[in-house]
Amino acid sequence: AQSVSQHNHHVILSEAASLELGCNYSYGGTVNLFWYVQYPGQHLQLLLKYFSGDPLVKGIKGFEAEFIKSKFSFNLRKPSVQWSDTAEYFCAVNPYSGAGSYQLTFGKGTKLSVIP
């Protein structure tokens, strides 16, 4: 079964610092990749997704992620974080299958705290 690893449990940054959250997955075939964000008191929201094409994906609020197939990675980045980015971030993977399920496998999440 596939698994998703998020390397950092809790990241603390000052405003304007750069962010990179790691995500690695274990699945040898074609995958669809997602980053979801959960702001305090809110539900999971899609930040960005990769299905195919350009491996550098841009999402909402200035976030981007790069799919590196050889490293089985899909790291999330933002050049300058804001206090409002304080949230929990989840990486998720869906193995592409023409006739299979579309379940998402999630990592354990990374809590980001941004200090004003």
Partner 1 sequence: GAGVSQTPSNKVTEKGKYVELRCDPISGHTALYWYRQSLGQGPEFLIYFQGTGAADDSGLPNDRFFAVRPEGSVSTLKIQRTERGDSAVYLCASSLLSGGTQYFGPGTRLLVL
25 and 5 Cβ atoms separated by less than 8 Å: yes
**Residue 58 in contact with partner 1, rule: CB under 8 A:** no
Query: Which of 28, 29, 40, 43 touches partner 1 (CB under 8 A)?
Result: 43
85 phi and psi angles, rounded to 5 deg = -85, -5
Contact mark string toward partner 1, 84..113, x via CB under 8 A: ------x-x-x-----xxxxxxxxxx----
19 and 112 Cβ atoms separated by less than 8 Å: yes
Binding site for partner 1 (CB under 8 A): 4, 32, 34, 36, 42-46, 49, 90, 92, 94, 100-109
